[in-house]
């Protein structure tokens, strides 16, 4: 164990205000656990466009009260430096129900107030979209949400928004990161308990805004709902009741907030098995649809009756349904999706003479579009009402899905029927992922090199017609690490390293014209996707 490592560990220990992480670090020192110390100190969690996210624990490579205090102080310095016209900056802080979220939120409020940035603290754990809404509702300079979204139970995170209620993007992220790096000892920071703890009025105003979205159409729809042990239930149940829909059938075992997420391996509606309890309850109550939030309720998943059983729709399918509903209602403005989402949205928008825009992955980019009318990303994120918040919002998305499902039910139809109509008009757009988790990151680098230097000529029987390196920019987008392969028939593949996990992600889309049979088109699409996956995996050596 080096002297430098010991010095850094003891310095951290001397300023850590948390007894639990002090004890963790002291145990490692007493045991002479070099590997454990190096794992916590060899690097620090990097503040970027997603803020901070990582496992709870001691040291700079974990989420803890020291890291959070440094982040709060750095953000405060940034806000003070960028205060407009001498106006004192302010921040609103929210939190979910994960381990230590409330502690991190109070620390943030105290440090902000001590630094001269007036802080508002939401009164209890609430959905992330409530925090995003609160920024503009209160006229704040920024917002902080303590959440790790749908990460495993041992994680927590720190998400930062600026005054437009969208997440930070460059160059703000780098400037805040530099300010964090300049922060001194956290035990010497001024703190103040003069921050303002809000009452229920902000969450009430958010619910009122969501309830104002539906029209005066039918309300009869039987829906099963799971908040996935998160914080969405109370807010959504209240909004559903006020909007006049029947009470949701909430999955009992997943209804209460629980930071341990005991019924799921990963608290993400997209993960295998996560929706099993909701699917079971839907069969028991004869539900028309299933709706779900992730633990901080910024994402929305939808399941549908399919014959005698139920199945979950993909994020792209829900995006197409919501866009179709809003376009039919006459909602004008830019319809936007991340570049890895389906190109179907562009065809839908064009059919209604509305602009379509693609962005880099991450809702932060979608939220920056000034004329945004609707935005989505295939990972279950939707903004159906940018005036409420310029971020994905799983609560307002579910309210809109309920309205659509009730309208279709009154017509004797279902979400699947409407989706098939969309496919008949624009072609069946089938999407899938080839996703590979690795321990050796060089595998990802080699795969990306193959795509850049010697891309395959044919995949799944379809000729590769174009190769675009996203690192050089694509259609005016900022450079990012990724490759786009265009294939015959409107198919395409986008491969990129994950920004949050050791994964290579390949997003596949094929387009099949629908003449007579939707089932025949679906079968053809399934075959093409299977072939593409096999050939792509072989070409990339994964």
Looking at the fold, whether 384 and 290 belong to one and the same domain comes out as yes
Note the pLDDT tens digit of each residue in 49-98. Answer: 778 999 999 999 999 999 999 999 999 999 999 987 778 999 999 999 99
pLDDT of residue 135 exceeding 90: yes
pLDDT of residue 48 exceeding 90: no
Looking at the fold, whether 123 and 188 belong to one and the same domain comes out as yes
Looking at the fold, whether 289 and 404 belong to one and the same domain comes out as yes
pLDDT, position 500: 67
Question: Could you say which of 198, 217, 252 is where a domain stops?
Answer: 198
pLDDT of residue 144 exceeding 70: yes
pLDDT, position 437: 85
The neighbour count for residue 132, using CB atoms within 10 Å, is 30
Q: What are the helix (H) ranges across 149-306?
A: 172-181, 201-211, 233-242, 276-285
Confidence of residue 542 (pLDDT cuts 50, 70, 90): confident
Beta bridge partner(s), residue 365: none
pLDDT, position 1: 65
pLDDT, position 302: 98
> If you average pLDDT over residues 503-524, what whole number do you get?
93
Strands 52-55 and 155-162: antiparallel
Which residues are known to be catalytic?
149
Non-local CB neighbours of 3 within 8 Å, separated by 6+ positions: none
pLDDT of residue 145 exceeding 80: yes
* Short-list 91, 84, 236, CA closest to 158: 91
pLDDT, position 155: 96
Q: Determine contact, residues 147/98, Cβ cutoff 8 Å.
A: yes
Looking at the fold, whether 190 and 278 belong to one and the same domain comes out as no
Q: Determine contact, residues 335/348, Cβ cutoff 8 Å.
A: yes
For residue 29, is it within any domain?
A: no
pLDDT, position 439: 83
Q: Alpha-carbon distance 529 to 523, whole Å?
A: 10
Q: Alpha-carbon distance 156 to 434, whole Å?
A: 27
Looking at the fold, whether 334 and 319 belong to one and the same domain comes out as yes
Give the H/E segment covering residue 19: helix 19-31
Q: How many structural domains are present in the chain? A: 3
- Under DSSP, is residue 90 helix (H, G, I), strand (E, B) or coil? strand
Q: What's the predicted TM-score (pTM) here?
A: 0.95
pLDDT of residue 420 exceeding 80: yes
Residue 320: CATH number of its domain: 3.40.120.10
Please list, residue by residue across 207-235, b when 16 or more beta carbons sit within 10 angstroms of its beta carbon and e when fewer do.
Answer: bebbbebbeeebbebbbbbbbbbbbbbbb
Q: What are the helix (H) ranges across 363-441?
A: 363-366, 394-410, 415-426
Note the pLDDT tens digit of each residue in 442-465. Answer: 889 999 999 999 999 999 999 999
Looking at the fold, whether 252 and 331 belong to one and the same domain comes out as yes
Q: What is the mean pLDDT of the chain?
A: 95
CA dihedral 490, 518, 299, 133 (to 10 degrees): 80
Looking at the fold, whether 404 and 508 belong to one and the same domain comes out as no
> If you average pLDDT over residues 212-223, what whole number do you get?
97
Higher pLDDT residue, 436 or 157?
157
Q: For the chain, what is the total number of helices (H) and then of strands (E)?
A: 17, 21
Looking at the fold, whether 174 and 135 belong to one and the same domain comes out as yes
> If you average pLDDT over residues 252-273, what whole number do you get?
96
Higher pLDDT residue, 106 or 86?
106
- Under DSSP, is residue 254 helix (H, G, I), strand (E, B) or coil? helix
Q: What is the DSSP letter of 56?
A: B
Question: Could you say which of 374, 403, 423 is where a domain stops?
Answer: 423
Looking at the fold, whether 184 and 218 belong to one and the same domain comes out as no
Dihedral sign, CA of 77, 83, 88, 94? negative
Non-local CB neighbours of 194 within 8 Å, separated by 6+ positions: 113
Looking at the fold, whether 417 and 309 belong to one and the same domain comes out as yes
Q: Determine contact, residues 232/392, Cβ cutoff 8 Å.
A: no
pLDDT, position 456: 95
Question: Could you say which of 172, 198, 224 is where a domain stops?
Answer: 198
Residue 116 region, left (φ>0) first, then alpha (ψ -120 to 50), else beta? left
For residue 365, is it within any domain?
A: yes
Looking at the fold, whether 57 and 191 belong to one and the same domain comes out as yes
Domain containing 57: what range?
46-198
Looking at the fold, whether 311 and 452 belong to one and the same domain comes out as no
Q: Determine contact, residues 343/508, Cβ cutoff 8 Å.
A: no
Note the pLDDT tens digit of each residue in 266-281. Answer: 999 999 999 999 999 9
Q: What is the DSSP letter of 51?
A: B
Q: What is the DSSP letter of 57?
A: S
């Amino acid at each position: 164990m080096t002297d430098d490592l010991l010095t850094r560990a003891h310095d951290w220990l001397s300023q850590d205000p948390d007894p639990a992480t002090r004890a963790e670090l002291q145990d490692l020192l007493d045991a002479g656990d070099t590997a454990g110390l190096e794992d916590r100190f060899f690097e620090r969690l990097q503040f970027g466009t997603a803020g901070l996210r990582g496992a709870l624990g001691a040291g700079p490579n974990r989420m803890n009260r020291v890291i959070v205090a440094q982040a709060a102080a750095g953000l405060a310095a940034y806000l003070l430096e960028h205060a407009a016209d001498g106006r004192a900056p302010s921040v609103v802080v929210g939190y979910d129900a994960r381990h230590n979220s409330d502690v991190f939120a109070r620390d943030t409020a105290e440090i902000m107030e001590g630094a001269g940035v007036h802080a508002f603290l939401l009164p209890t754990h609430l959905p992330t979209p409530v925090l995003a809404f609160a920024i503009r509702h209160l006229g704040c300079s920024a917002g902080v949400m303590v959440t790790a979204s749908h990460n495993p139970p041992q994680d927590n995170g720190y998400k930062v928004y600026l005054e437009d209620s969208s997440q930070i993007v460059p160059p703000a992220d780098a400037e805040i990161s530099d300010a964090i790096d300049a922060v001194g000892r956290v035990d010497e920071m001024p703190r103040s308990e003069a921050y303002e703890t809000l009452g229920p009025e902000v969450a009430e105003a958010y619910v009122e805004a969501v309830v104002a979205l539906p029209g005066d159409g039918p309300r009869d729809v039987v829906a099963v709902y799971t908040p996935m042990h998160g914080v969405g239930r109370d807010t959504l149940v209240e909004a559903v009741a006020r909007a006049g829909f029947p009470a949701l059938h909430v999955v009992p075992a997943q209804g209460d907030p629980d930071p341990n997420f005991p019924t799921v391996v990963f608290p993400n509606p997209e993960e295998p098995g996560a929706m099993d309890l909701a699917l079971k309850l839907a069969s028991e109550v004869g539900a028309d649809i299933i709706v779900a939030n992730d633990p901080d309720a910024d994402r929305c998943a939808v399941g549908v009756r399919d014959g005698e059983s139920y199945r979950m729709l993909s994020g792209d399918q829900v995006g197409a349904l919501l866009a179709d509903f809003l376009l039919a209602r006459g909602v004008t403005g830019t319809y936007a999706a991340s570049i890895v989402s389906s190109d179907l949205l562009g065809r839908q928008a064009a059919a209604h003479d509305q602009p379509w825009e693609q962005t880099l992955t991450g809702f932060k980019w979608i939220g920056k579009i000034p004329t945004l009318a609707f935005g989505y990303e295939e990972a279950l994120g939707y903004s159906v009402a940018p005036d409420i918040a310029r971020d994905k919002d799983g609560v307002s998305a579910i309210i809109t899905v309920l309205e659509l499902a009730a309208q279709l039910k009154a017509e004797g139809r279902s979400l699947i029927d409407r989706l098939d109509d969309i496919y008949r008009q624009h072609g069946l757009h089938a999407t899938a992922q080839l996703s590979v988790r690795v321990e050796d990151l060089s595998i990802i680098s080699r795969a990306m090199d193959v795509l850049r230097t010697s891309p395959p000529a044919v995949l799944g029987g379809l000729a590769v017609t174009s190769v675009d390196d996203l690192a050089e920019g694509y259609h005016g987008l900022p450079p990012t690490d990724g490759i786009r392969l265009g294939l015959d028939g409107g198919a395409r593949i986008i491969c990129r390293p994950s920004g949050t996990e050791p994964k290579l992600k390949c997003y596949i889309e094929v387009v099949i014209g629908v003449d007579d049979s939707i089932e025949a088109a679906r079968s053809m699409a399934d075959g093409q996707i299977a072939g593409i996956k096999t050939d792509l995996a072989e070409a990339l050596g994964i």
